[in-house]
Structure 1
Amino acid sequence: MSNEDNRTEFRILFGKQIEKLRTDQKLSLRQLAQRCDLDHSDIAKYEKGEVNIKLSTVYELIKGLQLSPQTVFDFEFYFKDSNIKLEE
């Protein structure tokens, strides 16, 4: 699997995590957008993993979800390259 494939998979998994956390709080895209400085249509794109996301955008999502960064990044992801060693 190429590095780009890993990046794409990470974006998709991150987006699914954001969507899960949003729906767990019973927030619509518009409600989340009102809590942070983002447009609801952009949040939908992030949730689908369609676009790359900036750290400042991650900050806004964390602020809007009112969660810790640890919670937002608490999802499983494994590099598909056998040369990459993950710390346990």
Structure 2
Amino acid sequence: MNDSENNLKRFGENLARIKKAKKMSYRKIAANCDLEHSDIKRYVDGKINPTLLSLLDLAKGLGIHPKELLDY
């Protein structure tokens, strides 16, 4: 696994941890921001690389500071 893949995996694990702690579904997060629930699942699975705007939307949807998403 290269560094990029490792970062995506770790980001996804952190996102999953935050999602679980907040007791939020993918659909609930998506309803709170401008993202598709299927994309959020793919971020958690480490399948796609989120853009800066996606990170900001995710943070908004989760009700957290964007920094928390990268604190893994």
TM-score normalised by structure 2 residue count: 0.92
1:68 alignment partner AA: H
1:1-88 aligned at under 5 Å gives the runs 5-75=2-72
Q: Where does structure 1 lack aligned partners over 5 or more consecutive residues?
A: 76-88
What secondary structure does 2:3 align onto?
A: helix
Moved over 6 A (4+): none
Task: After superposition, give the CA deviation of every residue in 1:50-88 in whole Å (9 maximum; x if it has no partner).
Answer: 01111110010011111112322211xxxxxxxxxxxxx
| Distance in 2 separating the partners of 1:23 and 1:36 | 17
Decide which structure has greater helix share: 2
How high is the sequence identity, in percent, across the aligned residues?
A: 33
| Distance in 2 separating the partners of 1:74 and 1:66 | 15
1:7 alignment partner AA: S
Deviation at residue 29 of structure 1 after TM alignment: 0.6
How many residue pairs get aligned? The number is 72
1:27 alignment partner AA: M
Deviation at residue 19 of structure 1 after TM alignment: 1.1
Query: What is the RMSD computed on CA atoms of the aligned residues?
Result: 1.2
Could you say which structure has the larger radius of gyration?
Answer: 1
